Structure 1
Amino acid sequence: MGETQMRTFQRVGYLAVAGAIALSTAASAHDDRLSRIAAFFAPADILSGPEIVDCTLSGGTRTRCFRITVTPTPQDYTPGPWCPTHVGDGADAGGIWFADGGMVDVDGAFIRSLAERYGDSNWQLYDPETGDVRFTGTLEACQAAARPDVDPAYRNTCVQCLPEYMPEDAVSTYTIPLEPVPVSRPPRRLRGPAGLARNGVRLDGPAPVEAILGAYTIAPLDDCGGHVNLHAGYHYHAVTDCLTGAPNGSDPARGTAEAGHGTEIGIAMDGYAIFPHLTGDGRAPEGLDACNGHDADGIGYHYHAGAAGANAILGCHVAETGCASEDSTATCDATRRPPRP
């Protein structure tokens, strides 16, 4: 072998070794990230994953994501209640709802006040003779009332769907990028779910409040900010103390900087962390963008959940998003979002 051939052979060998080291380093970093993700979602009822998979994000980027399949029910508390059954009931018999620029208790007094509150005498969710509240108490009633085109028979009804109405094999699969891929111009509003809470419950987009009120219905959230529909199961439209008081399961490398921002409560569909509305010392975070995010030393870019009464956990996503699906075997291609029923 000549000297030139020898040098070429050595150079190719060096490149091969360097490439192998780079691949090994990347694999090790992914494994480390995956173990932290698994620890973060330890409070959830995980059916499979997290695992690393190929994925196509909402902007068409092909990359690597983590995929996790969970049951859409929290394991750390029992969801509910939502609707009171009588106008004499107190706050402990019902949930919460968006009103007066925040959240109010859905108790008997709230049910009685609807006509005055909304300036419309057509509101009448209770029997004026008995005081009994009209609410959806069966699967069939849930199917008829918890939809955009409310069955006329369920106008003037308090709408609640119970977790037991969901099929026993109902699952939710989330495919989220391991590394965020920022977009040049974030959308003006949130498209699809905001992310996944550390207890495995979907952090959803805004509740369709105008459509709900337009049918003379109320669809309360429980005190944890969640309710049930037959598409997503139990999910959140607001972040309350049920999540912000959870133990910190996030990346320990972030240390005191993260502690100052409070407990990491979830991971957004674009891969960025989600923190509570307020920082660890009870102050409003400064410099938030339209999506409710900002940069901070020691953490990097991350989101803060909107105030519970804002009906917006996130305003939008600043990076390409992954997929949320009821099919645990589907390959994530977020450029082809199926329409929500």
Structure 2
Amino acid sequence: MKTYLFKAIALLAITLSACTNNTNNTKAIAEDKVTVAVKSENFLSGGLAEPITIEKRELSDGSTADCYKIVVTSTPTDHEMGPWCPGNIADDASAGGIWLEGGEVYDVDGEFVKNLATFYKDDTWMLYNSATGEITKTKTKEECQEAANPNVGVEYQNYCVECLPSYVADVKHTYYIPVTPKKAATPYIFASRPGGGGGPPKGERPPRPEGAPEGERPQGPPRGNSTLPSSRGIAFNGVVFDAPAPTDAILGAYTLAPFDDAGGHINLAAGYHYHAATGVSKKLAQADNHAAMIGYAFDGYGIFENTDSNGKEYTDLDKSRGHYDEVRGYHYHVDQAGNNNFINGLRGEYAL
């Protein structure tokens, strides 16, 4: 009798436990009081290959929603692209772009290129002619393709890689963003990668990658979630906010692929794309001194600058680099430019 009673109590406990767990798993997602829909009119028409339209698309949770279809040329109309590589070690900062290292932004002027061996504590660095001061850089589309290969041959080591807009004049990309953001049960956190978020510490050169795929590639999705976008969102000018630049591969091949002052550069597959927000592209100022808005993430939530109008960073951001207020609803704040990063995840469902 005691044995039977013990088994009955144990069975009841297991049943109650199972019911409790099931209740937690099916708990409704707490909705935000304020959810701000995407405004298609915020995008500059000059960066679009065709007018923005609405299509029904499946979202990452299996539901269906209205999504904006945004076809872009990856060519900004609100600022010039470049320059990237200076021509001579005597050139000032106006002749080159920027480099992101260890959380800092450096001007790629002639002096920076001249001192790369000291900067990275490696005498192999030598991107210029010691007699003339001329900097060795790519000058054709073919050289751009070869030098941008992470597994660079010895003939393209010690090159400054500068791919020009004329090489990607016909590039178009299509993106889908939910018209109204939908909060996910659990945020989708982007996987980290070696070299993402600013690359190796200053003074350390990572090993050259073996068997790396040709050309720069955006960061892949986390393991187990092959549908997560590799990029983060779109600026109002139609240029994509890309994953962290693979600076480990770039530096490991003794090449330098600078960004322009807007935080962007070009590869032949992606076209022009951003790796840092430097305040150059179109922004929407906020009436309450909040940071300006600069675009949308791929889940439809707004992306805002790193600091407010007084230069103060936000200290209450979640793991995705977002927070909520009753004016803008949930939204993101980009990372500091020197960190080679925008946001860390998507809080909402994204279009497949």
How far apart, in 2, do the equivalents of 1:222 and 1:97 lie?
A: 9
Structure 1 residues 181, 148: closer, same or farther in 2, change over 3 A? farther
Equivalent residue, structure 2, for 1:236: 274
Structure 1 gaps, min length 5:
1-31, 250-254, 323-333, 335-341
Partner of 2:174: 173
Return the offset for 1:114: 0.9
- Distance (Å, rounded) in 2 between the aligned partners of 1:43 and 1:275: 20
User: Could you tell me whether the CA contact under 8 Å between 2:103 and 2:336 is conserved in 1?
Assistant: no
Q: Secondary structure at the match of 2:175?
A: strand
Instruction: Classify 1:58/1:230 alpha carbon distance in 2 versus 1 (closer, same or farther; 3 Å).
Output: farther
Match of 1:304 in 2: 333
How far is 1:139 from its partner? Answer: 0.1
CA separation in 1, counterparts of 2:245 and 2:170?
25
Q: How does 1:251-270 map to 2 (within 5 A)?
A: 256=287, 259-270=288-299
Equivalence map 1:107-186=2 (5 Å): 107-166=109-168, 168-186=169-187
Cα contact 2:46–2:77 (8 A) shared by 1: yes
Q: Which residue identity is paired with 2:255? A: T
Q: Which moved more, 1:263-272 or 1:61-70?
A: 61-70
**RMSD value, Cα:** 2.0
Instruction: Please give the TM-score of this superposition, normalised by the length of structure 2.
Output: 0.75
1:59 to partner: Cα distance: 4.2
Matches within 5 A, 1:267-282: 267-282=296-311
Return the letter of the residue paired with 2:327: G
Partner of 1:205: 243
Name which of 229, 234, 248 aligns with 2:284: 248
> Which has the higher mean CA deviation after the structures are superposed, 45-54 or 130-139?
45-54
Shift of 1:184: 3.2
1:197 to partner: Cα distance? 0.2
Do the aligned partners of 1:97 and 1:106 also contact (CA within 8 Å) in 2?
yes
- 2:345 aligns with 316
3-state secondary structure, aligned to 2:293: coil
- The structure carrying a bigger helix percent of its residues is 1
Please point out which of 199, 214, 232 is paired with 1:194: 232
- The one-letter code of the counterpart of 1:267 is Y
Q: Could you tell me how far apart the structure 2 residues matched to 1:137 and 1:213 are?
A: 20
Question: Percentage identity across aligned positions?
Answer: 43
Per-residue deviation at 1:177?
A: 1.0
Aligned residues: 280
In structure 2, how many angstroms separate the alpha carbons of the residues matched to 1:279 and 1:43? 27
* C-alpha distance in structure 2 between counterparts of 1:268 and 1:122, whole Å: 40
Q: 1:227 aligns with which of 247, 261, 265?
A: 265
Q: Give the structure 1 partner of residue 94 of structure 2.
A: 92
> How much does 1:241 deviate?
1.9
5+ residue gaps, structure 2, are 1-35, 192-220, 222-229
